[in-house]
Amino acid sequence: MAVEDLILGVTEQDGPRPNLSAIVTHQKLGRLGPGTGSVLAGTPVYRVAPGRYAPWQYGEEIHAFVLASVVLDSVKDTFADLMLRGEIEYDEIVLPVGQLQVDLDAALRRLREAGIIVNGLTDSDSPTPDSTLGALAPNFISAGSTVFNPTLTQV
């Protein structure tokens, strides 16, 4: 495909967030395949081929985030400015259509190794102080112990 067959994405000025407020340490232009509609700033993308990206979907590794919203061309690839390394705020990340937030959150937790820091993402794998006792309590009860619990009876 010749370079002239590609178009530069048009920034969508009337969208909810035309630009991402991220701290970018490495960025590049990447190609998004033909389609309809827009890809909003903050959308995670994965690499489908060298230099070519698509909105993230379950089972794929996140490789970058779209920095500025673009309108896709229905026939040609569209260039988009992508953040490959840096820091992004969790509340600026867009959940791609058809994907589950829990799956996206799991993929986001693996990004630190790739050089992307997601600020504001909670680590649900680590127990919180309130849940630690509940999770560990059964391990502290030995056979023959009496535990006071008004909803249980001793047998």
Look at the chain and report how many structural domains it folds into. Answer: 1
- Which residue segment(s) compose the domain that 80 sits in? 3-119
Considering the entire predicted model, what is its pTM?
A: 0.69
Tell me if 22 is assigned to some domain. yes
Tell me if 86 is assigned to some domain. yes
Tell me if 130 is assigned to some domain. no
Tell me if 124 is assigned to some domain. no
Tell me if 113 is assigned to some domain. yes
Tell me if 81 is assigned to some domain. yes
pLDDT at 18: 59
pLDDT at 142: 38
- pLDDT tens digits, 88-143: 999 999 999 999 999 999 999 999 888 899 999 987 644 343 433 334 334 333 34
- The residue to which tokens 């990206």 are assigned: 53
CA 108, CA 33: separation in Å to the nearest integer?
23
Read off the CATH number of the domain in which 52 is found: 2.40.300.10
Amino acid letter, 123: D
pLDDT at 28: 93
CA 124, CA 97: separation in Å to the nearest integer?
23
Tell me if 149 is assigned to some domain. no
Amino acid letter, 82: L
pLDDT at 25: 83
Q: 131: Cβ–Cβ under 8 A, 6 or more apart, which residues? A: none
- pLDDT tens digits, 35-91: 989 999 999 999 999 999 999 999 999 999 999 999 999 999 999 999 999 999 999
Tell me if 151 is assigned to some domain. no
Looking at the DSSP bridge assignments, the partners of residue 46 are 54
